[in-house]
Structure formats: structure tokens, C-alpha cells
């Protein structure tokens, strides 16, 4: 099976600011400009900020030229979208951002991860070894790797930092300009809390304060966000810092020409988290908008840029294991030598393409 070629894709010059704007219609013009400027800080940030663009850009690739089958895909797989989440059974290192998860082609899902990794790593040998490990895991020739507990970030310390950053006592720090917090408009705040009350999501939490948060960076830059400070009604009466983040169509839906089903998030959690439960990770409808309610505490990411070469390898092997476990069924019965050739040569095309798109955007 031949790999993706430049001729399968529109000219790079068509990856313009207008194109990226068109695939982010949910973001207001001023907020898109802030998101755009933040994305231009590095090639990796540029690519990870626009997962919708990745899926739309590949629509012209003939299905017959993509090996393997379909599965519940990550949609926006890249090294910063993995982290520790405290589930009911304890902390687990998982893919932690399900915003863009949905049905898709496993090979293109893997290609996105390794393309971002190519833009991040200046080490072709290490990248080739990780791709080979991924393929061996798909075949069951290598065991899946877990993140060593020695590399687990300190969740309790991060929780304390988060509370100190955003709050003082039982109130938000509205007077700290760098936080971009503001008081929620009365009508909006009432509607949010009323919707949460109807959903039953906060039945065990006493709401103390609500704040609006401006955020322009990353794949969710430009979407409405609110922070909720609450206290548990029973037990230890711990403080809770929750987030309501406006949702939009998952990036995978652009590739399917369909809006995702209403149960997309529940199916993504069941498939990617394999039955692990977390107290707060639900969608709540507020008027015409849908928000994701999630916990800001009990989770942490590994700072991959601060790791030694050895520890970085361990983290990336754990991430590749998560990819392989999710994609394995889609490649059942496939000659993995064909996948290896396709992945390596397609990666050369997509990495070069996105680097050129980034450089063109920087010049304009």
C-alpha cells in the first residue's frame, strides 16, 4: 500500500489563516486572533492548536490508501494530551483529553501523534524506535509499558498549587490580572447553576463561587470557560475546583462528515479509559450550548520538556502503549510491514507539510 504523497493533498499554500479560521467557526474573531498568535510560538503548538485542520486536510486521501480499519480514535493525540487522572480506583496515567475523540481511521490517528512527535523531537533514531515499538505492540510482540510510578507527578502538590493560584479562602482571586478571571454575568451564572442543579452533577457539592475565565491558547482556545469553587457536603468537606468548558464538534467529526452522536463522550470514556470512573467528567446542556464539567484537581501532567532523555523515553513508551492498545483491533490481520512502510513515508510528508505551513504563517 503506497503512503500518503504530496499529490494526495491540497498545496501547502492553501493552509492559510483563512483555512484555519474556517474550520474553527465556533471561535469569535477576536478570540481566534489571540489563539492564532499563541499557536505561532512553535511548530508543535501550531499543530496541536488546530486538530480540526488535521482531519479536514486529509479528506482527499483515498480510503484505499490508508491501511487498517476504524476504531474509537483519540482525535488529537499528542504528547501533552496524556497525564495522571485520579479515578475512583486511584491515579492512572491515561490519554486525558477526550474533546476530539470519536470514530476514525486508526492509521491516521497514529500518524497525527507521530507527526507532532517529529516536530517536538530532534532525534530521528528515537522516533523510529518508538514507531517500531508501537508496531510490535500492535502485534503482541512487545508488552505494553506502564509509566513508572517514580515518574508520577505529585498530584497533591499540584492540587495545592491550583487552589493557591485561583482562590483565596473561599473566593476567587479576581484582583489578579494574570488569571484573566471575571465575575460571571448574573443571568449567565444563574443559568449555568440551574442547569447543573437539574443534571444532579453537583448534588454532593456546595457551590461557593463562580468565575468566568478567558483562555486563548491550545485546541480549546476561544471557547467559553467557567470555574466553580465548591465544598463537599459530607466527609472531609474538601474544597473542589471544577471547570465548565464549552464544547464544540469533535475534530474527528470533520473527517466523518457527520456530527457526533449524543453519547460520543460516554463511548469515548468507556473505550479509552476502559471502565475507569472519575467523579466529574460529564456534559451539561445550558440553553443551546453544551459544557463539559470536569475536575481541575486530582490530575497532573508530566512536564516532558523538563525530563532527562531516559525519563522522556519511558514517558513516550507509555504513551505509545496507550495508542497501541486502542488501535490494535483496527489492524488485526494486517501485514504490519505494510503499516511500517506506510507510516514512515507518510510521516515524512505530513511533518514536512505542517512545518512549512507553520513557517508560512510566521512570515505573514
Tell me which residue has cell 511533518: 351
* Phi and psi, residue 72, nearest 5°: -75, 110
Q: What is the pLDDT along the chain (364 residues), one digit of tens a residue?
A: 789 999 999 999 999 999 999 988 878 888 899 989 999 999 999 999 999 999 999 998 988 889 999 999 999 999 999 999 999 999 999 999 999 999 999 999 999 999 999 999 878 899 999 999 999 999 999 999 999 999 999 999 999 999 999 999 999 999 999 999 999 888 888 999 999 988 888 889 999 999 999 865 444 555 789 999 999 998 889 999 999 998 877 777 655 543 345 688 999 999 999 999 998 999 888 877 888 999 999 999 999 989 999 999 999 999 999 999 999 999 998 888 889 999 999 999 999 999 999 999 999 7
* Residue 140 CB burial class (10 angstroms; 0-12, 13-18, ≥19): exposed
pLDDT at 261: 58
pLDDT at 257: 44
* Phi and psi, residue 207, nearest 5°: -75, 125
Give yes or no for a contact between 82 and 96, defined as CB atoms under 8 angstroms apart: yes
User: The whole model's pTM is what?
Assistant: 0.88
Domain boundaries along the sequence of the chain = 155-300
pLDDT at 165: 97
pLDDT at 254: 58
Give yes or no for a contact between 279 and 242, defined as CB atoms under 8 angstroms apart: no
pLDDT at 220: 52
In Å, what is the CA distance from 252 to each residue of 49, 57, 248, 260?
Answer: 15, 12, 11, 8
Q: In degrees, to the nearest 5, what angle opens at C-alpha 197 toward C-alphas 196 and 199?
A: 65
Q: Which residues contact 258 (CB under 8 A, 6 or more apart)?
A: none
pLDDT at 258: 39
pLDDT at 268: 93
Measured CA to CA, the distance from residue 166 to residue 161 in angstroms comes to 9
Amino acid at each position: 500500500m503506497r503512503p500518503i504523497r504530496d499529490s494526495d493533498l491540497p498545496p501547502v499554500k492553501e493552509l492559510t489563516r483563512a483555512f484555519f479560521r474556517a474550520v474553527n467557526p465556533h471561535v469569535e474573531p477576536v478570540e481566534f486572533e489571540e489563539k492564532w498568535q499563541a499557536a505561532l510560538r512553535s511548530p508543535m503548538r501550531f499543530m496541536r492548536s488546530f486538530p480540526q485542520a488535521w482531519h479536514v486536510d486529509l479528506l482527499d486521501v483515498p480510503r484505499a490508501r490508508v491501511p487498517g480499519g476504524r476504531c474509537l480514535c483519540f482525535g488529537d493525540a499528542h504528547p501533552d494530551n496524556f497525564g495522571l487522572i485520579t479515578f475512583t480506583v486511584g491515579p492512572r496515567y491515561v490519554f486525558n483529553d477526550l474533546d476530539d475523540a470519536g470514530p476514525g481511521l486508526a492509521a491516521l490517528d497514529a500518524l497525527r501523534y507521530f507527526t507532532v512527535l517529529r516536530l517536538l523531537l530532534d532525534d530521528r533514531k528515537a522516533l523510529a524506535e518508538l514507531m517500531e515499538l508501537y508496531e510490535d505492540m500492535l502485534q503482541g510482540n512487545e508488552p505494553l509499558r506502564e509509566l513508572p510510578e517514580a515518574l508520577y507527578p505529585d498530584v497533591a502538590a499540584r492540587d495545592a498549587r491550583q487552589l493557591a493560584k485561583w482562590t483565596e479562602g473561599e473566593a476567587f482571586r479576581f484582583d489578579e490580572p494574570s488569571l484573566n478571571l471575571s465575575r460571571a454575568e448574573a443571568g449567565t451564572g444563574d443559568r449555568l447553576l440551574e442547569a447543573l442543579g437539574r443534571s444532579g452533577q453537583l448534588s454532593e457539592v456546595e457551590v461557593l463561587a463562580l468565575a468566568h475565565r478567558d483562555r486563548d491558547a491550545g485546541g480549546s482556545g476561544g471557547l467559553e470557560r467557567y470555574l466553580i469553587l465548591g465544598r463537599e457536603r459530607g466527609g472531609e468537606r474538601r474544597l473542589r475546583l471544577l471547570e465548565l468548558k464549552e464544547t464544540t464538534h469533535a475534530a474527528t467529526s470533520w473527517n466523518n462528515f457527520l456530527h457526533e452522536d449524543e453519547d460520543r463522550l460516554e463511548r469515548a470514556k468507556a473505550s479509552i479509559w476502559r471502565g475507569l470512573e472519575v467523579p466529574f467528567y460529564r456534559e451539561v446542556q445550558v440553553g443551546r450550548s453544551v459544557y463539559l464539567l470536569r475536575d481541575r484537581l486530582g490530575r497532573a501532567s508530566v512536564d516532558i520538556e523538563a525530563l532527562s532523555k531516559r525519563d522522556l523515553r519511558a514517558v513516550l513508551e507509555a504513551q505509545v502503549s496507550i495508542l497501541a492498545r486502542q488501535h490494535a483491533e483496527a489492524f488485526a490481520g494486517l501485514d504490519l510491514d505494510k503499516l511500517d512502510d506506510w507510516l514512515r513515508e507518510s510521516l515524512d510528508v505530513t511533518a514536512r507539510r505542517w512545518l512549512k505551513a507553520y513557517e508560512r504563517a510566521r512570515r505573514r
